[in-house]
Amino acid sequence: MHPKEIIASFQKCGADIKLDETGVTVVNASKVSELTINYAKEYKERIINQLKGDYSAKKHAILSTNDQLIDCFLNKPVNNPDLIVSFLINNPDCCELIIKRMNLLKENGWQYDECTANYENEETDQLAEQLFNRAMAGRQKKGA
Amino acid sequence: MSVLKVDYSQVSQFEDWVKGEYEATVVGYEMKQAKSGSNMVILTYEVRDDVPQPSNKGQKINYDNFVVSEKSMWRFQALSMAVGVPEGTDFESFTEWAKSMQNKQVRLIVGLREHNGRYYPQVDGFKSPEVGKPDSGSIDIKDDDVPF
């Protein structure tokens, strides 16, 4: 989910997520459910980047594409599963890159049942961009 | 070790309130009982910081009381109309009404009330907003921008 959507869902309930010295803070937290707060916590780093203005549409496209690739690996529901499987079958080296990225995320403390947002770093971001570019290239080739 | 770093930019938080019309967002509510025993909705507004304002951009206007009594019902109606609630809309409770006001844009007619020598903003009336909504969080990613 785009961090903008998470922030908007808090605002709809009369709460808000704001930057503070320690990262972010929730204003009027009692107006949102614990479940919603826990969900937002998983996306904390992306929310911080969004509030700082550092989360571009391109960045979201890259990270959400990689979220889908990992979800597909973990047998979780994804959009357009056939397209993803076809991409993986035709690009086995990309499967290796996904596994490499997942290992790096694991080393940073990521658990399989949570979003990777709080465990990403420069190295995982580079791999994410590489995978995104490969997937886009494959799509363009198909569309040509 | 320093315990205070002087920062002139923080002085603006003490800016005096000026009477006038403010573009604001409803950002909070509380349900309480008035001294009279009547139920009361207390709304909080935030003065928008993305449009010109008479003073205090980004600051909160707290404690706007909507007392549930016959003679104060006009305030519920006035705010509902100003934020664009369709005529005839039914609310099952005042809590439901307060919730539905959240995140709504409104133009507040603000006067001042004096308390212990200081002046605080007081909401005297409501108008429909005269400027568009701030960035509502629309996401500019098309299907062509992602591979799957």
Out of A13, A27, A65, whose CB is closest to B146?
A65
Report chain A's mean pLDDT, rounded to a whole number.
90
B139–A contact, CB cutoff 8 A: yes
Q: pTM higher than 0.90, yes or no?
A: no
List of chain B residues whose C-beta atoms are within 8 Å of the C-beta of residue A132:
147
pLDDT above 80 for A116: yes
User: C-alpha dihedral over A100, A76, A67, A47, to 10 degrees?
Assistant: -130
- Edge-first strand listing for the sheet containing B118-127: B60-67, B39-47, B20-33, B105-115, B118-127
Q: Which residue matches tokens 């363009």?
A: A140
Say if the Cβ atoms of A4 and B137 lie within 8 Å: yes
H-only helix segments in B4-127: 73-83, 94-101
pLDDT tens readout for residues A30-80: 888 888 899 999 999 999 988 888 888 899 999 999 999 999 999 988 888
Q: Which chain B residue has the Cα nearest residue A61?
A: B146
The pLDDT of residue B15 is: 84
Q: With cut-offs at 50, 70 and 90, classify the pLDDT of residue B13.
A: low
For residue B123, the cross-strand partners are B110
> Does B138 or B96 have the greater pLDDT score?
B96
* Band of residue B135 on the pLDDT scale cut at 50, 70, 90: low
Q: Which site among B99, B141, B144, B146 would you substitute to test the A interface, given the most A Cβ atoms closer than 10 Å to its Cβ?
A: B146
Residue numbers in B near A4 (CB within 8 A): 137-139
Q: Pick the range with the lowest mean pLDDT from A5-19, A115-129, A130-144, B51-65.
A: A130-144
> Is A3 strand, coil or helix?
helix
